[in-house]
Structure 1
Amino acid sequence: MTKTLSDSISIKVEVSYLERQSLPDQDHYLFAYNITITNHGDEPAKLMTRHWQITNGDGEVNTVDGPGVVGKQPDIASGEQFAYTSSAVIETAVGTMHGHYTFCSQSGTVFDVPIPAFRLASPNTLH
């Protein structure tokens, strides 16, 4: 099996519910997510754009597209990591997020790295 450029980037996600900033009685649930991106490849890669699909518990989808992450388009050297924290608001106690990052390798190849779905859930919520 041939290793692709997208296989050379790994993404780790950790989610936390921000109870103090959430207003459940107003259908406002705030979640922080910490992302760690690791470049396992042989060449640097620049994170160019992000694409997210945020789905609440009612199945309503909000799409977010834009350049970079948290105002940056980081160059991630071979063997290095880039970490950041951001947040998402949904109208239900449970939801999901998934998407992809678009990278450009040092040699000019543009490639997408999928971000598998992860759960947004306030504590003690079943869905």
Structure 2
Amino acid sequence: MINTITDGVKVSVETIYQPEYSNPANDHFMFAYKINIENVGNHAVQLMRRHWSIFDSNGTQREVEGEGVVGLQPIIEPGQSHEYVSGCNLKTDMGSMKGEYQMLRLMDHVLFDVKIPEFYLIAPYKLN
């Protein structure tokens, strides 16, 4: 598991290759990722937006941006966490993702960015 802490918000990531949804013969590789966002700070925060940079091992890069995560803009109280699972398709069997969440500190309505650490999406057979 990969994790990082920014301004009292800890982001942890796990990845899972999904062979049942992949089709290597057609350059389609599907990965799931599970993210846990934990408030290790002293003030409630709300996740407002996300921004992803997604890289295929063939050099292709794409950006994904939008409100919330999987349709939610969760409020995370101190000591609490929010976990979700999402997916990413690549045209190669290896790649990576990184990004940031825009958070709102509810106490004073200050917006701040939380780093999502870079993590790798690798089909298990590439690790042999």
- Scaled by the length of structure 2, what TM-score is found? 0.92
Task: Report the aligned-residue RMSD.
Answer: 1.1
SS at match of 1:70: coil
Residues 1:28 and 2:21 aligned together: no
Structure 1: how far apart are the matches of 2:18 and 2:62?
20
Structure 2: how far apart are the matches of 1:6 and 1:118? 16
Q: Which residue of 2 aligns with 1:120?
A: 121
Is 2:15 the counterpart of 1:15? Answer: yes
What is the distance in 2 between the residues matched to 1:12 and 1:85? Answer: 12
Partner of 1:65: 65
Shift of 1:53: 0.5
| Runs ≥4 residues deviating over 4 A | none
| Deviation at residue 59 of structure 1 after TM alignment | 1.2
Which residue of structure 2 lines up, in the alignment, with residue 82 of structure 1? 82
Gaps of 5+ in 2: none
The Cα offsets for residues 56-81 of structure 1, whole Å up to 9 and x where unpaired, read as 01110010000000000000001100
Q: How does 1:71-110 map to 2 (within 5 A)?
A: 71-106=71-106, 107-110=108-111
SS at match of 1:78: coil
Q: What CA deviation, in whole Å up to 9, does each residue of 1:31-59 have, x standing for no partner?
A: 00000000011110000000000100111
Partner of 1:37: 37
Alpha-carbon distance in 2 for matches of 1:11, 1:121: 20
| Stretches of structure 1 lacking an aligned partner (at least 5 in a row) | none
The secondary structure found in structure 2 opposite 1:124 is: helix
The alignment-based identity, stated in percent, is 39
Q: Contact between 1:14 and 1:33, CA under 8 Å: does it hold in 2?
A: yes
Q: CA deviation at 1:124?
A: 1.8
The structure with more strand, counted as a fraction of residues: 2
Partner-residue secondary structure (3-state), 1:79: coil
Question: Is 1:6–1:111's contact at 8 Å kept on the other side of the alignment?
Answer: no
SS in 1 for 2:7: helix
Whole-angstrom distance in 1 between the partners of 2:126 and 2:6: 34
Aligned positions, number: 122
